[in-house]
Amino acid sequence: MNNILYLINHKTLTDFEIPLLLNKGYGVLINKKYDSLSVNDSLNNEQNNFFYDNFLKLEPYEIKLFNEINWFNNNIILSEEILEILNNKFKIIFITLLTNGSLLKQLKLNFKGKIYYRFFGREKTLKYDSLINKHPFTDNIGYIFSYNEILEFEKDFFSAKNSHFIPLGLSNVFVSKYLNTWKYEDNKICFVCSKIGKCNYYTDIYKTFINNFNMYEYKILGKNNKIIDNNIFNGLDDNEYYSEIKKSKLMYYHGIEPRHLHYHPLEAIIIGIPIIFHRKSLLSIYLNESPGKASSIEEAKNKIEKILNNDLEFINEIINVQNKSMKLLLQINNQNIFDPIL
């Protein structure tokens, strides 16, 4: 039982966590098939997915069987053979809200190991209570929170008995490659947004950005966007994507959620580009003293203009605070974060 079924659809998180699990002696199997674009654009890491198969404690035919399953298809029916392999050779299954249908019901009823839900924070004032009402607590399900702020907010439903805090981090490979590599070449705002024109939530984020900041030069990085704007750089590979961040004058982070944080501002901290962000954002927990923090759109505009006008004192103040915060990020990139559940 030295294998883990890792049904997490996020490339950056995967790059960080799987090497930690491998170093603990576990084999990690990742989903290889995707039905929907909304999943596929989140995890574009196929080479690593299959590379990790080399560390599985499974027979070749078992690996083949598991790789033919679309684990994000909640309508699948697992065979008796698959369930037997799961029970004999897997200790843990990590899932997210994508695994919330008939597949989860099968796993709850038949898997003898532990299933851990990963929670990354809901929008606005929403809680996970509807999920708990749909899938009541059972002995074989635990819950993992990425931010203490979520667990505190959800304390009516979760407790230390069934919940764990496992902080987010960035892989050593990413840090080694991109640490302090910012060297701007264009006087533009970098804005990250995916699924523009395909998902109302993200389309509204794009429209809000354009309404507020279209008077400045900007570039938009993301995946699976409709090209409705000549400033959209769509579907870049990793090298191209991070190169465009490094060449930008600043990053504007739109988030105002108090319990959810996108990864790109954390990556931006490592790269060393100054970030302008909102006081209400969870990013304020990491960058509480940053002069890049704004309480309004007008304040954000004023600070963006200072950077675009090359106010070096202001730029350096932001970067110095971000460098202090970076040490906090690097401290959690260690081997022990999974110890409480392994």
What is the pLDDT confidence band of residue 139, given thresholds at 50, 70 and 90?
confident
Measured at the CA of 220, the angle between CA 177 and CA 262, to 5 degrees, comes to 60
Which pLDDT does position 235 carry in this prediction?
Answer: 79
Q: What values do phi and psi take at 329, rounded to 5? A: -60, -45
pTM greater than the 0.85 cutoff: yes
Percentage above 90 pLDDT, the chain: 56
Query: Tokens 């590599």 belong to which residue?
Result: 181
Alpha-helix runs per DSSP H in 226-294: 238-247, 264-271, 283-286
pLDDT (0 to 100) of residue 136: 62
Confidence of residue 332 (pLDDT cuts 50, 70, 90): low
Which segment of 86-90, 118-122, 133-137, 303-307 scores lowest on mean pLDDT? Answer: 133-137
As given in the structure block, the two tokens for residue 326 are 């970076």
The DSSP call for residue 52 is G
Q: What is the mean pLDDT of residues 125-141?
A: 72
Give mean pLDDT, residues 160-181: 88
| Per-residue model confidence (pLDDT) at position 134 | 64
Enclosing H/E stretch for 88 = helix 80-89
At 135 the pLDDT is 61
Is residue 212 pLDDT above 90, yes or no? yes
Mean pLDDT for the chain?
Answer: 88
- Mark 301-313 as b/e (b = at least 16 C-beta within 10 Å): bebbebbeeeeee
The pLDDT value given to residue 39: 43
pLDDT value of residue 333: 65
pLDDT at position 133, please? Answer: 63
Question: Quick check: 322 and 274 in contact, CB under 8 A?
Answer: yes
pLDDT by residue (tens digit) across 215-225? 999 999 998 88
Q: Which of 226-230, 277-281, 310-314 has the lowest mean pLDDT?
A: 226-230
pLDDT for residue 123 is more than 80: no
What are residue 341's phi and psi, to 5 degrees?
A: -115, -10
pLDDT digits (tens, 9 = 90+) for 239-260: 999 999 999 999 999 999 888 8
Question: Residue 83 pLDDT > 90, yes or no?
Answer: yes
Q: How confident is the model at residue 178 (pLDDT cuts 50, 70, 90)?
A: very high
In this prediction, residue 41 carries a pLDDT of 45
pLDDT range class, residue 40, cuts 50, 70, 90:
very low
Amino acid at 64: K
